[in-house]
Structure 1
Amino acid sequence: MPVSRPLVLIPSYNTGPILPTTVAAALEQDVDVRVVIDGSTDGSPALLEPLLNHPRLRVEVLPKNAGKGSAVLHGTRAALAEGFTHVLCMDADGQHPADLIPRYFGISKIHPEAAVFGRPVFDASAPALRVNGRKVSNFWANLETMGWGIDDSLFGMRLYPAEELVRVFESTCFARRFDFDPEVAVRLAWRGVPIVNLPTPVRYLTKEEGGISQFRYLRDNTLLTWMHTRLFFGFLIRLPWLALRGENPLLSYSPPVL
């Protein structure tokens, strides 16, 4: 019978002083936490030194920035080598609520075959451009998967079955940078991995609070456009099979009731 032994995986690139706060909040949930510092140049390893004695924390430092997806792949392979079965990805910038980690883990224990995707619940701090702009990507992701159940293609707080996630990475040379979240979502759906969507509050920190964003409007939207163009043609190739396979078996589980 499938089991779930999850950990929290936090990829980080030049997150600054908010990084140790994010990591400490995750550790407060009494879970295993792995941080992958993706070639940061802001002194991130030194910022985490006060936490390094924590028995459930491991930090890896990559010598060169390779992108969020590459950092997640590195961390997921390391998690599998340690005997973990699932990784809960959280952004390092403090946007994601650590107190929901037990909910994600709880769903995974009930449905270890599933990926648990956060469905963002925005508050007044969310930039309207970001909130409305993601609707385009969500439309294409659901078209490319025939409505498999991706409520938000861009949200970064997600729990993945680790082996399935690695297989997705191995099936493509893409999904290594900002395109990671939407591309792996579509490819997991193509593989038939059930998806559960968990409503998750999002907080956009101000600069005074230590908030930082690596999003670059022109660069990253160009990357997303190219990605969805590729995925659309991949969808056309898979269309006969996708039309015959049925719907996501856990579609009615969203939002979940435990």
Structure 2
Amino acid sequence: MDIYAYIIVITAGLLFGSFTNVIIARMPAGESIVSPPSRCPRCREQLRAVDLVPVFSYLFLRGHCRHCQGKISPRYPLVEALCALLFIGVYLRWGLSTVTAAGWVFAVILLAAAFIDIDHGIIPNRLTYPAIVMGLVLSFRTLAFLPALYGTLAFGGLMLAVAFISNGGMGGGDVKLAAVIGAFTGLTGSAVTLLLASFSGAIFGLIIMTVEKTGRKTPVKFGPFLAASAYTAFLFADAIASWYLGFL
């Protein structure tokens, strides 16, 4: 991979990571993600362009607001750096293609969904509904429309059935995120996502129960596991499915 391509991809990832932070901060509150301009959450002073350089502004300001010296959450540079890493992963897998562009959109959606679920225990309709549409539209240039539609209906429908049977054990946001994942990854990607998310979520739940001495009904937010597994499936679904079927 050319060094200049690395720089371009990392820069794009950092910038979109900054935008992802806006989604995470504003969407659960029902606020616009395009206006007003970014402000300090404490003193409400509008931030200048020099204060909004992804990661570097945080380091330069030592994690504090220029105006009120209030502490800035390390979550901001973390999300920006994660987004850059996700962008690199997609580019390394798919090169310069429409699949890569779709993967970058998908990465932003998954990253926002995961952190909103961690913070608020929800995955907003304002995120998932447009994401389903974007996945289906982009499918015309990626996996094709019908496979995307089948993935949306199958994975979303399966998770809806699980939510109904579990009587609230799974939230509606997870159901709609599953539909998004189906639109971007199709049936194979959905199956791989479910396998990986179920396994990783179960392991995490066991660790929490062991460490905190809690019972089997300890709630575990499933959105982050779906998001991480879906990203993995977007890159390697076919290889993982082939390995798994061969293992069986």
TM-score (norm 1): 0.30
Higher relative helix content:
2
Higher relative strand content:
1
TM-score (norm 2): 0.31
